[in-house]
Amino acid sequence: MIDNLNKNILEEYQKDASIAYRTLAEKIGEAPSTVFSRIKQMKDSGIITGVIPLVSPVAVGKATTAWIKISLDIDTDCCDFADEVAKNKNAMEVHEIAGEWDILIKVKVEDNLALHDLTKEISKISGIRNMESLIAFKTIKEDPRIAL
Protein backbone atom coordinates (compact mmCIF):
# COMPACT_ATOMS: atom_id res chain seq x y z
CA MET A 1 0.00 0.00 0.00
CA ILE A 2 1.35 3.42 -0.93
CA ASP A 3 0.17 5.85 1.72
CA ASN A 4 1.89 9.18 2.37
CA LEU A 5 4.41 7.64 4.76
CA ASN A 6 5.41 4.94 2.27
CA LYS A 7 5.63 7.59 -0.45
CA ASN A 8 7.93 9.73 1.72
CA ILE A 9 10.09 6.72 2.55
CA LEU A 10 10.33 5.66 -1.10
CA GLU A 11 11.22 9.14 -2.31
CA GLU A 12 14.21 9.27 0.07
CA TYR A 13 15.12 5.59 -0.29
CA GLN A 14 15.28 5.87 -4.09
CA LYS A 15 17.82 8.68 -3.73
CA ASP A 16 20.19 6.46 -1.73
CA ALA A 17 19.21 2.95 -0.64
CA SER A 18 22.37 2.70 1.46
CA ILE A 19 21.01 5.35 3.84
CA ALA A 20 20.78 4.22 7.46
CA TYR A 21 17.22 3.70 8.67
CA ARG A 22 17.91 6.16 11.49
CA THR A 23 19.02 8.86 9.04
CA LEU A 24 16.07 8.19 6.77
CA ALA A 25 13.72 8.33 9.76
CA GLU A 26 15.18 11.70 10.80
CA LYS A 27 14.70 13.09 7.28
CA ILE A 28 11.00 12.24 7.22
CA GLY A 29 10.25 12.73 10.91
CA GLU A 30 9.47 9.12 11.86
CA ALA A 31 10.88 6.54 14.25
CA PRO A 32 13.62 4.25 12.85
CA SER A 33 11.55 1.18 13.81
CA THR A 34 8.63 2.52 11.73
CA VAL A 35 10.88 3.10 8.73
CA PHE A 36 12.42 -0.36 9.10
CA SER A 37 9.02 -2.09 9.32
CA ARG A 38 7.58 -0.11 6.40
CA ILE A 39 10.57 -0.93 4.17
CA LYS A 40 10.29 -4.59 5.15
CA GLN A 41 6.55 -4.57 4.34
CA MET A 42 7.22 -2.94 0.97
CA LYS A 43 9.88 -5.54 0.17
CA ASP A 44 7.61 -8.40 1.26
CA SER A 45 4.69 -7.07 -0.81
CA GLY A 46 6.79 -6.53 -3.95
CA ILE A 47 6.68 -2.72 -3.99
CA ILE A 48 10.46 -2.68 -3.48
CA THR A 49 11.78 -5.38 -5.79
CA GLY A 50 15.49 -5.04 -5.07
CA VAL A 51 18.25 -2.72 -3.94
CA ILE A 52 21.10 -2.35 -6.41
CA PRO A 53 23.94 0.13 -6.91
CA LEU A 54 23.71 2.51 -9.85
CA VAL A 55 26.77 1.96 -12.03
CA SER A 56 28.08 4.56 -14.47
CA PRO A 57 27.88 2.92 -17.92
CA VAL A 58 30.76 5.03 -19.26
CA ALA A 59 32.98 4.17 -16.29
CA VAL A 60 32.58 0.45 -17.03
CA GLY A 61 33.07 0.81 -20.78
CA LYS A 62 29.42 0.78 -21.91
CA ALA A 63 29.32 4.20 -23.59
CA THR A 64 26.72 3.43 -26.26
CA THR A 65 23.02 3.47 -25.42
CA ALA A 66 20.70 2.06 -28.05
CA TRP A 67 17.20 0.78 -28.57
CA ILE A 68 16.45 -2.10 -30.86
CA LYS A 69 12.99 -2.21 -32.40
CA ILE A 70 11.75 -5.54 -33.69
CA SER A 71 8.67 -6.45 -35.66
CA LEU A 72 7.78 -10.14 -35.65
CA ASP A 73 6.33 -12.50 -38.19
CA ILE A 74 2.58 -12.87 -37.78
CA ASP A 75 2.87 -16.42 -36.44
CA THR A 76 5.62 -15.65 -33.90
CA ASP A 77 4.54 -15.60 -30.26
CA CYS A 78 5.48 -12.16 -28.94
CA CYS A 79 5.73 -13.33 -25.32
CA ASP A 80 8.02 -16.25 -26.13
CA PHE A 81 10.21 -14.02 -28.28
CA ALA A 82 10.45 -11.36 -25.55
CA ASP A 83 11.37 -14.01 -22.98
CA GLU A 84 14.14 -15.29 -25.25
CA VAL A 85 15.56 -11.79 -25.85
CA ALA A 86 15.42 -11.03 -22.12
CA LYS A 87 17.97 -13.80 -21.52
CA ASN A 88 20.63 -11.66 -23.23
CA LYS A 89 22.84 -10.01 -20.59
CA ASN A 90 23.03 -6.76 -22.60
CA ALA A 91 19.25 -6.35 -22.70
CA MET A 92 18.52 -3.87 -19.92
CA GLU A 93 14.85 -3.52 -20.81
CA VAL A 94 12.59 -5.62 -23.00
CA HIS A 95 9.11 -4.35 -23.76
CA GLU A 96 6.22 -5.72 -25.80
CA ILE A 97 4.82 -2.63 -27.50
CA ALA A 98 1.86 -1.55 -29.60
CA GLY A 99 2.15 -0.05 -33.06
CA GLU A 100 4.31 -0.85 -36.06
CA TRP A 101 6.90 -2.61 -33.89
CA ASP A 102 6.32 -5.52 -31.48
CA ILE A 103 9.41 -5.48 -29.23
CA LEU A 104 11.57 -2.65 -27.90
CA ILE A 105 14.91 -3.47 -26.27
CA LYS A 106 17.17 -1.01 -24.45
CA VAL A 107 20.85 -1.89 -24.39
CA LYS A 108 24.14 -0.45 -23.19
CA VAL A 109 27.15 -1.65 -25.13
CA GLU A 110 30.78 -0.67 -25.63
CA ASP A 111 30.45 0.86 -29.09
CA ASN A 112 28.76 0.57 -32.48
CA LEU A 113 30.62 -2.63 -33.31
CA ALA A 114 29.33 -4.24 -30.12
CA LEU A 115 25.82 -3.08 -31.06
CA HIS A 116 26.30 -4.64 -34.49
CA ASP A 117 27.39 -7.92 -32.91
CA LEU A 118 24.44 -7.84 -30.52
CA THR A 119 21.92 -7.28 -33.31
CA LYS A 120 23.47 -10.18 -35.22
CA GLU A 121 23.08 -12.35 -32.13
CA ILE A 122 19.45 -11.30 -31.64
CA SER A 123 18.68 -11.84 -35.32
CA LYS A 124 19.44 -15.55 -34.84
CA ILE A 125 16.22 -15.87 -32.82
CA SER A 126 13.59 -17.06 -35.25
CA GLY A 127 10.49 -15.04 -36.01
CA ILE A 128 11.91 -11.60 -36.82
CA ARG A 129 10.32 -9.77 -39.75
CA ASN A 130 12.25 -6.51 -39.34
CA MET A 131 14.77 -4.99 -36.94
CA GLU A 132 16.00 -1.41 -36.52
CA SER A 133 18.40 0.22 -34.07
CA LEU A 134 18.33 3.72 -32.63
CA ILE A 135 21.52 5.10 -31.07
CA ALA A 136 21.68 7.92 -28.53
CA PHE A 137 24.24 10.57 -29.43
CA LYS A 138 24.12 12.06 -25.94
CA THR A 139 22.17 11.19 -22.81
CA ILE A 140 20.65 14.23 -21.14
CA LYS A 141 18.70 12.41 -18.43
CA GLU A 142 18.49 8.79 -17.40
CA ASP A 143 16.88 8.12 -14.06
CA PRO A 144 15.61 4.72 -12.87
CA ARG A 145 13.70 6.22 -9.94
CA ILE A 146 9.89 6.18 -10.03
CA ALA A 147 8.26 9.59 -9.50
CA LEU A 148 5.76 9.31 -6.66
In this prediction, residue 1 carries a pLDDT of 61
Whole-model pTM above 0.85? Answer: yes
Q: What is residue 2's three-state secondary structure?
A: coil
- Exposure string of 20-45, with b = 16+ CB inside 10 Å and e = fewer, is ebeebbeebebeeeebeebbeebeee
Domain-embedded: residue 13:
yes
Domain-embedded: residue 70:
yes
CATH number at residue 113: 3.30.70.920
Q: Give, in order, the Cα–Cα distances in Å from 7 to each of 17, 71, 84, 86, 109.
A: 14, 38, 35, 30, 34
My answer on whether 69 and 121 are in the same domain is yes
My answer on whether 23 and 86 are in the same domain is no
- pLDDT tens sequence for the chain (148 residues): 699 999 999 999 999 999 999 999 999 999 999 999 999 999 999 999 999 999 999 999 999 999 999 999 999 999 999 999 999 999 999 999 999 999 999 999 999 999 999 999 999 999 999 999 999 999 999 999 999 9
CATH number at residue 35: 1.10.10.10
My answer on whether 11 and 65 are in the same domain is no
Q: What is residue 105's three-state secondary structure?
A: strand
Domain that holds residue 87: 58-135
| Contact status, residue 105 vs residue 91, Cβ threshold 8 Å | yes
Domain-embedded: residue 50:
no
